[in-house]
Amino acid sequence: MRCVFLGPPGAGKGTQAAVLREKRSLAHISTGDILRDNVKKGTDLGKQAKEFMDSGGLVPDEVIVSMMKGRLQEPDCSSGFILDGFPRTAPQAEALGALLKEMQIPLDAVILFDVSDDVVIQRLTGRRICRSCGAIYHAVNRPPKVDGVCDACGGALYQRDDDSEDVVKKRLEVYKEQTRPLVDYYEKRGILVRVDAGKSGEEVISSIESAAGSEHDLA
């Protein structure tokens, strides 16, 4: 299974990627992880990226794509991978397509996690995190036994600043502006599959596996 996951914050991309990683022995690849790993190891690409990051600039697409190529050649990608957080733009999608064509590993599907704004807002504004151990709760879906207190360690629970309703709405606006051209790009290629991310986790996983059941070529 070789897929790209697209979707707004709170759509469940990370959760479903973690399930599939264990179930299918897939590599879950995020741009942020690749950047941090290269910077930490002091690779040539990491040094280039750090210069842009330290100055507050965006890391150029060619640097990201070169890092992605190195990551896709690692052994854990041999049985498949999920790309999460890349590509973010149509030019990045074109660069990724050229890279995968060169490596002869076509994508099976681009999965768009389709979920309403109301569901995203409910999921993110209800999220609570333990300051001590990092355990995650939800005010409605997974509340702690004692309000404001972590079941696991007794630490205090808090809401992230970017999980406030106003910030979540702004994040959704930015996501839609950035992603619309990318959705159009993959729809024209015939490999975009919309999955109802408002359903149960089991149903979402089943839909993803069905969508990635046949291979498509990005060429």
CA distance 132 to 117: 30
Q: Class of 2-26+79-116+168-211 per CATH?
A: alpha beta
Do the beta carbons of residue 158 and residue 165 sit within 8 Å? no
Q: What is the pLDDT of residue 130?
A: 95
DSSP 60: P
Q: What is the set of active-site residues?
A: 13, 88, 127, 160, 171
Whether the per-residue pLDDT at 177 is higher than 90: the answer is no
pLDDT tens digits, one per residue of 75-130: 999 989 999 888 988 888 999 999 999 999 999 999 999 999 999 999 999 999 99
From residue 93, alpha-carbon distances to 6, 146, 174, 183, 207 in Å are 12, 46, 18, 10, 23
3-state SS, residue 51: helix
